[in-house]
Amino acid sequence: MHSEDEAQASRRPAAHDPSARTSAGTDPSSAADAPTAVDAVGEAEGPARWKLIGPGLVVAATGIGAGDLVATLVAGSRYGYALLWAAVAGVVIKIFLVEGAGRWTLATGHSIFEGWRRVGRWTSWYFGPYIVVWGFVYGATAMSASALPLAALVPQLPVIGDIPLFAHMPLAVYAVISGLIGATLVWFGHYHALEKVVAVLVGIMFVTVVGAAVITLPNIGDILGGLIPRIPDGGLWYTLSIAGGVGGTITLAAYGYWLTEKGWSTPRWMRVMRIDNAMAYVLSGIFVIAMLVVGAELLYSSGIAIGEEDRGLLDLADVLASRYGTAMSWVFLIGFWASSFSSVLGVWNGVSIMFADFWGSARKLPEDHPKRRIGGTYYRIYILWLTFPPMLLLLLGKPVQVIVAYGVLGSLFMPFLAITLLVLMNSRHMPERWRNGWVLNVVLGIVAVVFIALGANQLVGSITGA
């Protein structure tokens, strides 16, 4: 009797079966992955062509939201450049995690959720409640984050700000509008359109966030000094949070799904995937470093404190306005909005695909069933879940019990991802040539330990309210 993996492999084209052999006795997948001029430009399969903009940009932009920008901004305001090395380490950590998720999908033809199922049935029991509770609370959080810069910017604009409707519009209304626009843009599941929109938002983020760092005239010597690893007094958990938390969400695991939608679906795309992933996270690292520079130069040197929630970015906008004029404040608020809204689009699309895959599996539908894919019934059900029930939280406030549940489950997701990837990348389900070497195992092992420590700390804080 064949195993489930063998049955799946038998349905894939023979050229991509790791066990298939040519008449010469060679491994065709090895030949396909050998360095060639064709692979170099990504023309590995028919008319599909590799472009610089890929799923890596989407997953990186989705992961860097308002909360991440605030975390690095506050780190810069408290410790100057002392934690710059931790921000860089965080980028490297995400490269390894996302590469693992992408490598699993390309090497096996299975989604990451199908991989988790092979680790054990317990993964489904964890993931199911997690994605439901997480979506309920995150929907409100993401809509609020997108609404904050709009609520601050629109009343200041000439002409528009003089219209009473806009001048006094409540934050919740901006949040609802943001959610509805996000849901509409991803409803039909056109991945390539999502890529283009996210690319525009990333361009706006780059100009505004990096621009804010440049105008502060940062001290290059201090920046280089910040690359030397050290932990400030009392800053251990903050250091771990910057290294492990920035840019780390459930959307890291969505990378494999976006690879499939892009058309990168076999081992022949492995090199392209790695370049795409690395370049995207280098770009996200530039954003993180830029915010830390702003915090160090504008806030740390002046002893200015800001809020540690998303509103901290509004505080920064006020500081920029006082230093460089109102126009600079407006530009930064636009960048704040671009960062927040890219997270809305990425989550509404990527996590909805993950839910569709999970729920379709629970209903015992085959992996390639349309309801388990982007644009299917289950995909749209989760978009509705992300959009409409969270509006109640916007109007009523977030119930303590929901926040606690969200914190508990959220504290365990990144350790869950790191540990399950470590298991999968060394398991019999992974073709031998694509399994981890000892270096990758050591790195993922360290990452798992870091996330376990962070998760335990967050878990205690969620339960005790500390």
pLDDT tens digits, residue range 10-39?
A: 344 333 443 333 333 333 333 334 333 334
CA nearest 257: which of 357, 387, 116, 126?
A: 357
Domain that holds residue 287: 46-464
Residue 303 lies in a domain: yes
pLDDT, tens digit, 9 for 90 and up, residues 360-403: 999 999 999 999 999 999 999 999 999 999 998 888 766 566 65
CATH code of residue 68: 1.10.4160
The pLDDT, as a whole number, for residue 432 is 94
Kindly state whether residue 35 falls inside one of the protein's structural domains: no
Q: How many residues does the chain have?
A: 466
On whether residue 41 sits in a domain, the answer given is no
Residue 14 pLDDT: 37
Residue 24 lies in a domain: no
Reported as a single tens digit per residue, the pLDDT across 400-414 is: 666 566 666 666 788
Residue 100: predicted pLDDT: 94
Is residue 68 within 8 A of residue 247, CB to CB? The reply is yes
Tokens representing 291 are 């915010």
Q: Which parts of the chain sit beneath pLDDT 70?
A: 1-53, 244-248, 397-411, 462, 465-466
5 domain-assigned:
no
Residue 227 located in a structural domain: yes
Q: How many domains does one find in the chain? A: 1
- What does the DSSP assignment read for 54-116? -HHHHHHHHHS-HHHHHHHHHHHHHHTTTTHHHHHHHHHHHHHHHHHHHHHHHHHS--HHHHH
The answer as to whether 25 is a domain residue is no
